[in-house]
A and B are shown apart, each in its own frame.
Chain A
Amino acid sequence: MEAATSPSHMTEEEHRRQRFWAAARHNLTAYIFLAPILIFFVVFMALPVVWLFYLSFQHDGILAPAQFAGLDNWRRTFSDGLVVKCIGNTLYYCVLAIPTVFVLGMIVALSLQGVRRGAALLRILIYFPTLQASLIVALIWTFMIHPDFGLLALSIRALTGVKVNFLGDPHFAMPTIAMIEVWKGLGFWSILFLSGLLALPSDLYHAAELDGAGSIRRFFSLTLPLMKPTFYFGVIFATIVNLQLFDSVFVLTDGGPVNSTATIAWYIYRSLFTFSDPGFGATLSFLLVIVVLALTALQTWLMRERTP
Chain B
Amino acid sequence: MRAARQRLALEPSPAARMLATLVLAITVVISLAPFFYVVSTSLKETKSLFSYPPRWIPDPVYLGNYLALFEKHPFGWWLGNTLAISAIVTGLKLVIDGMAAYALAKLDFSGKHAIVTALLISVAVPLAALLIPLFLITRSMGLIDTRLALILPPLANPLGVFMIRAFIAALPDELIHSARMDGAGEFEILRRVVVPLIRPGLVVHATFIFATQYTTFLWPLVAVHDLKKQVITVGISSLRAIFTVDWGLISAASLVAAAPLTIIFILFQQAFFQQSLAGALKE
Residues from chain A with a CB closer than 8 A to the CB of B123 are 296
A49/B125 in contact, CB under 8 A:
yes
One of B58-66, B101-109, B198-206 at the interface: B101-109
Cβ < 8 Å to B, chain A residues 76-112: 107-108, 110-112
In the complex, the chain B residue whose C-beta lies closest to that of A288 is B129
Cβ < 8 Å to A, chain B residues 225-283: 233, 236-237, 240, 247, 250-251, 254, 257-258, 261-262, 265-266, 269-270, 273, 276-282
Assess whether B170 is interfacial by the CB under 8 Å rule: no
A286/B34 in contact, CB under 8 A:
no
Chain A interface residue bracket vs B = 35 or more
Residues from chain B with a CB closer than 8 A to the CB of A265 are 128, 131, 218
Query: Distance in Å from the Cβ of A251 to the closest Cβ of chain B?
Result: 5
Assess whether A72 is interfacial by the CB under 8 Å rule: no
Does more than half of chain A's interface fall in helix, strand or loop, or is it mixed?
helix
B280/A202 in contact, CB under 8 A:
no
A44/B153 in contact, CB under 8 A:
yes
Within the assembled complex, what's the spacing in Å between the Cα atoms of A31 and B107? 10
Assess whether A235 is interfacial by the CB under 8 Å rule: no
Known: A191-B276, A246-B128, A247-B217. A133 touches B251 (CB 8 A): no
Per-residue A-contact encoding for B107-148, CB less than 8 Å = 1, 0 else: 111111001001101111111111111111100000000000
Assess whether B20 is interfacial by the CB under 8 Å rule: yes
Assess whether B37 is interfacial by the CB under 8 Å rule: yes
B270/A285 in contact, CB under 8 A:
no
Query: Distance in Å from the Cβ of A140 to the closest Cβ of chain B?
Result: 5
Within the assembled complex, what's the spacing in Å between the Cα atoms of A195 and B137? 41
B129/A41 in contact, CB under 8 A:
no
Contact of B128 among A34, A288, A295 (CB under 8 A): A288
A30/B124 in contact, CB under 8 A:
no
Assess whether B156 is interfacial by the CB under 8 Å rule: yes
Contact of B129 among A43, A146, A233, A289 (CB under 8 A): A289
Within the assembled complex, what's the spacing in Å between the Cα atoms of A190 and B53? 36
A206/B9 in contact, CB under 8 A:
yes
Contact of A128 among B32, B103, B251 (CB under 8 A): B32
B233/A133 in contact, CB under 8 A:
yes
B237/A40 in contact, CB under 8 A:
no
Among B41, B277, B278, the one with the most A-chain Cβ atoms within 10 Å of its Cβ is B277
Within the assembled complex, what's the spacing in Å between the Cα atoms of A133 and B79? 14
A140/B236 in contact, CB under 8 A:
no
Contact of A133 among B16, B96, B214 (CB under 8 A): B214
Cβ < 8 Å to B, chain A residues 183-206: 183, 186-187, 190-192, 194-196, 198-200, 202, 205-206
Residues from chain B with a CB closer than 8 A to the CB of A139 are 236-237, 250-251, 254
Within the assembled complex, what's the spacing in Å between the Cα atoms of A29 and B135? 34
Within the assembled complex, what's the spacing in Å between the Cα atoms of A238 and B44? 38
Known: A27-B110, A44-B134, A285-B129. A133 touches B215 (CB 8 A): yes
B281/A230 in contact, CB under 8 A:
yes
Among B156, B161, B190, the one with the most A-chain Cβ atoms within 10 Å of its Cβ is B156
A272/B254 in contact, CB under 8 A:
no
Known: A36-B99, A136-B258, A250-B237. A271 touches B126 (CB 8 A): no
Query: Distance in Å from the Cβ of A265 to the closest Cβ of chain B?
Result: 4
- A-B CB proximity, top 5 nearest: A133-B215, A30-B109, A48-B133, A33-B103, A111-B20
Some 15 contacts from A to B, beta carbons below 8 A apart, are A27-B110, A30-B109, A33-B99, A33-B102, A33-B107, A36-B100, A37-B99, A41-B122, A115-B24, A120-B270, A139-B254, A195-B280, A269-B222, A285-B132, A296-B121
Beyond A30-B112, A281-B132: 18 further Cβ-contacts under 8 Å? A27-B109, A37-B96, A37-B119, A52-B129, A126-B24, A133-B217, A133-B261, A134-B215, A139-B236, A140-B38, A141-B34, A191-B277, A198-B279, A202-B7, A244-B128, A269-B222, A272-B131, A288-B128
